Structure 1
Amino acid sequence: MNTAYLWHKGRAIAWLVLGRHARAEQVFDAMLAHWPGDAYALASRAHLRGQRGALEAAMADAQALVAAHPARSAADWFNLGYLLQEAGRHGEAESALRRAVALDERLDRAWYGLGLVLIAQGRYDEAVQALQRNTELQPMSPYGWYQLARVHMDRHAPDEARKIICHLQGFEPKVAARLLRETGMSQPPRSEQTRCS
């Protein structure tokens, strides 16, 4: 790396440490003027733009990043998918998230995001598969379990949802209680609760 690049990068990091995000973004602008397609600058500027709510600009940077460096990181594709999902562009988000899991099948947050975009498209059976993969990778996180229970209710499979609620009662009782309220299910009898696994 040349000295000018390292100097710009150091300035950007310093502004970020000081919480001066607008100044850091200006440095990333300058970096990309000198080094178009630079992965660090594109990823960083996309993140800053997303944080300040400039969704279209953040997506443009994220798209430029994966176009210039398609195999650099599954996280790049996840970030693009997340931004597209936030913009309601579920079909495009699905493609990006599928690319993320193709690059790293253990990227649990990409499986979770994929589950959400499939739910948004009404593709519940496929959403179940994605969310099950998420819960395999993050068994103690309630988010995937919560969405999986909701999908089972949408699929008219309350017994499957009840199994998840029973499972959550063992380590996330507040989430289990929320699901009971939202689904209208009653608390399982104490005899059933002891059989929860």
Structure 2
Amino acid sequence: MANVDDLKAKFDEQESHGQRVRPSGPSPDRLPRKVRSFRHFRPVALVATVLCAGMIGWFFLGSRGSACQDAVFAAGNELTDAALESLKQCTPDQMLLMARTRQSTNREEGLVLYELAAKKGSGSAARAIAEMLDPNGWVRATSSFSAPNATHALQWYRRAESLGEAGLRDRIEALKAAGAK
């Protein structure tokens, strides 16, 4: 207890003389450079730990795909009748993601998935179909259709707009001006 009383007396004495009370030991400025650099290590280690945990979680949980996608393509990489039946459990966003993925390898299957996603309420899927049909931006290499069709593009743009897709008014007006009905 004598040490505690001595410390209190020293504190009171320094405080009454207006001196700043410092903890014992060397000040951080007098520590060797190597030791001072470790002051910033803890926040960096924390951030690195969180990032690593996130990547491990994504690898083991997120990279496998959704249950919807697993059910659809369980029989292989084919879009079969059974796979189409299991699409009923998928959300429009899941279907849209699968459509974008399939579009690059099999345009016809991608189109089927886009149509199903649009039928379930995806404005983005309806817009994608309209863009494949739009004569103002039609490219054979990326379209599932053999030729552009302004009338069908206009119908799909209108459907996408009714499903909440924004920024289509100019495209709709351009197709109307070109004579699409």
**Interval of TM-score (by shorter of Structure 1 and Structure 2):** 0.3 to 0.5
Tell me the TM-score normalized by structure 1.
Answer: 0.41
Higher RCO, 1 or 2 (CA under 8 Å, sep at least 6)?
2
The structure whose residues are more often helix, as a share, is 1
Tell me the TM-score normalized by structure 2.
Answer: 0.44
